[in-house]
Amino acid sequence: MSNPKDKSEHMKHKTDEARRLFNLPDTESVIQDYSCSLDKLTPGRLYISQNYLCFASTLSHSLESIPFRKVTDITPDSTLFFQNAIAVTFQGGFHSFGGLVHRDETLNLMLHLWKHPPSYVDLEDVVEVPSNAAEREKAAAAGSSSSPKSQDTKDQPARSSTGSSSSSSSSSSLGGSTYGSSRGSSGSYGSTDGVQEQTSTVKVDTTSTRNALRLAYEAREIGTATMSELSYQAEVIDLIERDVERVHANLDKSDRLLRGIESVGGGLKNALSSEKKGKDMQYIDRTLVVTKEDVPVDVDILWKQPNDMLVPALMRLYKDKFVCVNAASKQPEKDMTFPFDQIESVVLRARHQHIDIRFLGKAPRFRLMSSYVQPIVNELALRIKDLKVVFEPGTRQFPYGSNNIQLPTSGGAAATRKAGFFRSSAATTTISPVITGLNVDSETKTALIQQEKDLDEISSVLGDIYAIGTTMGVEIDRSSEQLDRITNRVDSANVRLAKTNQRIDRML
């Protein structure tokens, strides 16, 4: 089924069938469906959408629907007669889906959607903060006068959604972008119920952020001064090493002279051999230069292999390329490094949450499935000039190419640290719609906006401090190795000098 229109019609038929059978919201779309049996007895079909696991029996009218938000565990399951099964534990029950021909693929897809709810961002809900103070005041005043409109959450749901209307959206701000999830508790950015009574007495503490910013600036200055001291120390260590090498060169000359004095054979050996040259120590500029490393960002995906198998992987994004990384070993897959300048287009497939990345020439395409299709396309569009993005028929369309859409990174302490220190540098600062929706005076809103700008600046300065610390760490390691080398050479010179003195004593 290579024709996109045929594929789109096929997926639409599957989706319409699932919505009709299980009364799913119009925002739910079938991603995959598999033939299987429920609890080892009931044959039927399993439908997997963004937020639901649904089973329809082929022998009866039995229907089962499990929201991912209620799932507590998903594990492989097997018995003597059913080897290819998956056990799903959820609030108030348990089901086993057996007889799956592609058990591992189905398990990988379930786990990915369970751990990573699909989410989209509508840029209309992202508020840009003007850089000019007067403009900030004007924008804050305008936001205050329009805030009552945002209080009616029935007519204005949060624009950021996972495609499920089964519950209210629980949203979090990611660098100015609003990611909603229908699997959490109720509440959305559009709602300000019960806020007015509280905000009338809110005092924005800009002093703390200002003090934190001042301390960050001071720490950066201290780091810069420390780097200058390290540069000077490195030059002094180089001079010490040169002097130690001169001592060895002088000991070589002394050894040659004493050998000629001690015996005729020694003199002949000197005549037939050339004089040893000392180690040439070139001058090295030890000025430390801070360069922010190309910190990659890891995104959880399912890599679609040539045999159509979906396997867990990470899409590791650099400034000029992306790499497919094994999710378990965290090592790059063989021949899976793709420079951005070789990408011809990005295709959003009719099978929902699937992406094809196609390359110039006859290079094979890279296929993936992910809950983060919008952030991935957005990052590629920001890194590749005039990127061609194609939405196949029936595919959900979304905005991209904006710094306001942040990429959810894969977990881990290192990723969290780097993501915090190296945030995307947007052209403008963004604030949460919660701020603009508050019914407060313009002075308070301006203070909130200033607080957001200060926090962004603190993040940027912390990035500088992190880069300075990394640079100093590399230099300290290099200096330590050099000092160890000098120590060994000094010990060797002491031994040689003692032997030379003994030889002179014997001649006297």
Q: What is the mean pLDDT of residues 196-209?
A: 61
Higher-pLDDT residue of 505 and 125 is 505
Measured CA to CA, the distance from residue 7 to residue 394 in angstroms comes to 9
Sign of the alpha-carbon torsion through 370, 373, 379, 383: positive
Confidence band, pLDDT 50/70/90 cuts, at residue 439: low
For the ranges 86-100, 309-323, 380-394, 410-424, the lowest mean pLDDT is seen at: 410-424
pLDDT score, position 293: 66
Q: Is the pLDDT of residue 156 over 70?
A: no
pLDDT score, position 29: 94
Sign of the alpha-carbon torsion through 455, 460, 466, 472: negative
Q: What is the mean pLDDT of residues 175-181?
A: 39
pLDDT score, position 61: 83
Q: Which of 106-120, 420-434, 448-462 has the highest mean pLDDT?
A: 106-120
Q: Is the pLDDT of residue 427 over 50?
A: no
Q: Is the pLDDT of residue 96 over 60?
A: yes
This prediction has a pTM of 0.58
Confidence band, pLDDT 50/70/90 cuts, at residue 23: very high
79's tokens: 């018995």
Q: Is the pLDDT of residue 447 over 70?
A: yes
pLDDT score, position 302: 96
Q: Is the pLDDT of residue 276 over 50?
A: yes
- Of 376, 359, 355, 367, the closest CA to residue 300 belongs to 376
HSE of 178, CA atoms in CB hemisphere, 13 A? 24
Confidence band, pLDDT 50/70/90 cuts, at residue 322: very high
pLDDT score, position 480: 94
Backbone angle region of 92, left / alpha / beta, with phi > 0 → left and psi within -120 to 50 → alpha:
left
Backbone angle region of 407, left / alpha / beta, with phi > 0 → left and psi within -120 to 50 → alpha:
beta
Q: Across the chain, what does the average pLDDT equal?
A: 79
Measured CA to CA, the distance from residue 158 to residue 431 in angstroms comes to 15
For the ranges 92-96, 123-127, 192-196, 485-489, the lowest mean pLDDT is seen at: 192-196
pLDDT score, position 296: 84
pLDDT score, position 145: 45
pLDDT score, position 54: 96
DSSP 161: B
pLDDT score, position 467: 87
pLDDT score, position 411: 54
For the ranges 12-16, 420-424, 457-461, the lowest mean pLDDT is seen at: 420-424
Measured CA to CA, the distance from residue 370 to residue 302 in angstroms comes to 6
pLDDT score, position 47: 96
